[in-house]
């Protein structure tokens, strides 16, 4: 059998995306290790110090929070390193990962806004504002949980604490970071590559399409929505966010739906697309940073908090705008 025609499809659909994924994880891991080796963790945590104190979180969690504004992968690798070294227990690891929800949102905010604004116009401000509110609510909730579940940490002079730690030169820090990187990159290759490959073939064999049809065939529970907005939800779930936006733009342009109906449909699509988002995007790279079991637990908590917060915000918007 001639497999020549399949090779370009495998490269563009699997090879290049997988290579890029491993590259981004590797860069994030190296950056996180390097920062930790330079003992910048406490310095970076100053950016989040007030929130960290409120939630009884560690300086490592604060540094990860600060790093998440620039790289979600680097933030998670920093947490994984601290967990492996015993600096964080599992409870704080989960809370610290959830704590990063706000900076992670801001990391993607420019892309989301500049994608939505040209397509759905004024509805973009409402949708982005509601999802931002959901992210803020998640952060407040995590701080409350941290306050209740974690032991308060002793506070002191940060400069004195830093002075007790040996300062490494850049060369020494790079060597230390490289040593850690070589150890953890094996884990990335062992777990991420086969999982990502499996997801690719599941998608190729139509498993996700079957799951998406299963969801969309039960949209009758959404009778409170305008039926004409179902196309937005189906496109969002069956394809991706931009597909839902394209449908929404056409409906707004034709005067079929108003901003309120479009925003509600996008929020519903956001919630229903969560299962596909987990297996297509989050799990492969999370499993390369954490163990597969721990990755699933953290994704479950993360997506549960995200979905519940969006539902709460959506319900509030539905009644306020009625």
pLDDT in tens, the chain (322 residues): 444 556 677 777 778 877 876 777 677 667 766 766 665 555 555 667 788 888 888 878 888 888 887 778 888 888 988 898 888 899 999 999 999 988 888 877 877 787 788 778 889 999 999 999 999 999 999 999 999 998 876 544 434 433 444 566 778 878 877 887 787 777 667 766 776 677 677 667 876 567 556 655 665 666 677 777 777 777 777 666 777 777 788 778 767 778 999 899 999 988 888 777 776 667 777 887 888 889 889 989 998 999 999 999 999 999 998 7
Neighbours of 257 (CB within 10 A): 24
Query: Are 181 and 33 spatial neighbours (Cβ–Cβ below 8 Å)?
Result: yes
> Which pLDDT belongs to residue 187?
65
Q: How many domains does the chain have?
A: 1
Q: Could you list the residue range(s) of the whole structural domain that residue 146 is in?
A: 6-107+124-152+165-204
On whether residue 209 sits in a domain, the answer given is: no
**Cβ distance 59 to 48 under 8 Å?**
no
Phi-psi region of 225 (alpha: psi -120 to 50; beta: other; left: phi over 0): beta
For tokens 């690891």, name the residue. Answer: 93
Contacts 24+ apart (CB under 8 A), 138-141: 138/98, 138/101, 138/102, 138/305, 138/306, 138/309, 139/51, 139/99, 139/101, 139/102, 141/305, 141/309
In a domain, 74, yes or no: yes
CA distance 277 to 256: 29
- Directed axis angle between helix 101-120 and helix 90-99, to 10°? 30
In this prediction, residue 221 carries a pLDDT of 65
The CA-atom distances, in angstroms, between 142 and each of 64, 101, 282, 286 are: 15, 10, 20, 20
3-state secondary structure of 66: helix
Note whether residue 185 is domain-resident: yes
From residue 98, alpha-carbon distances to 92, 106, 145, 194, 273 in Å are 10, 14, 11, 26, 20
Task: Kindly state whether residue 198 falls inside one of the protein's structural domains.
Answer: yes
Domain-embedded: residue 223: no
Is residue 102 included in any domain, yes or no? Answer: yes
Residue 304 domain flag: no
Asked whether residue 256 is domain-assigned, the answer is no
The Cα–Cα gap between 117 and 123 comes to: 8
* DSSP per-residue letters across 103-171: HHHHHHHHHHHHHHHHHHTHHHHHHHHHHHHHHHHHHHHHHHHHHHHSPPPPP--HHHHHHTSPPPPHH
Does the CA dihedral 2-7-8-13 come out positive or negative?
positive
């Amino acid at each position: 059998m001639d497999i020549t025609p399949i090779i370009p499809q495998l490269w563009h659909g699997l090879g290049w995306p997988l290579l890029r994924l491993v590259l981004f994880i590797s860069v994030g891991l190296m950056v996180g290790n390097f920062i930790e080796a330079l003992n910048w963790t406490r310095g970076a945590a100053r950016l989040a110090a007030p929130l960290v104190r409120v939630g009884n979180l560690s300086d490592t969690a604060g540094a990860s929070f600060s790093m998440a504004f620039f790289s979600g992968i680097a933030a998670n690798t920093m947490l994984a390193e601290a967990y492996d070294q015993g600096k964080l227990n599992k409870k704080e690891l989960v809370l610290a990962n959830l704590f990063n929800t706000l900076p992670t949102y801001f990391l993607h905010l420019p892309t989301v806004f500049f994608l939505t604004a040209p397509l759905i116009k004024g509805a973009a401000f409402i949708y982005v504002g509601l999802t931002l509110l959901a992210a803020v609510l998640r952060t407040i909730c995590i701080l409350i949980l941290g306050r209740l579940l974690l032991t308060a940490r002793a506070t002191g002079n940060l400069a004195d604490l830093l002075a007790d730690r040996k300062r490494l030169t850049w060369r020494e820090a790079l060597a230390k970071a490289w040593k850690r990187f070589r150890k953890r990159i094996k884990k990335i290759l062992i777990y991420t590559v086969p999982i990502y490959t499996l997801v690719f073939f599941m998608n190729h064999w139509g498993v996700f399409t079957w799951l998406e049809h299963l969801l969309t065939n039960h949209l009758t529970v959404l009778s409170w929505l305008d039926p004409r907005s179902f196309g937005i939800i189906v496109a969002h779930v069956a394809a991706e966010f931009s597909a839902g936006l394209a449908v929404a733009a056409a409906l707004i342009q034709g005067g079929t739906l108003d901003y309120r109906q479009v925003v509600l449909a996008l929020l519903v699509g956001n919630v229903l697309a969560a299962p596909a988002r987990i297996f297509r995007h989050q799990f492969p790279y999370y499993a390369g940073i954490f163990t597969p079991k721990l990755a699933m637990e953290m994704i479950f908590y993360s997506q549960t908090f995200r979905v519940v917060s969006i539902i709460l915000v959506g319900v509030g918007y539905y009644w306020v705008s009625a």
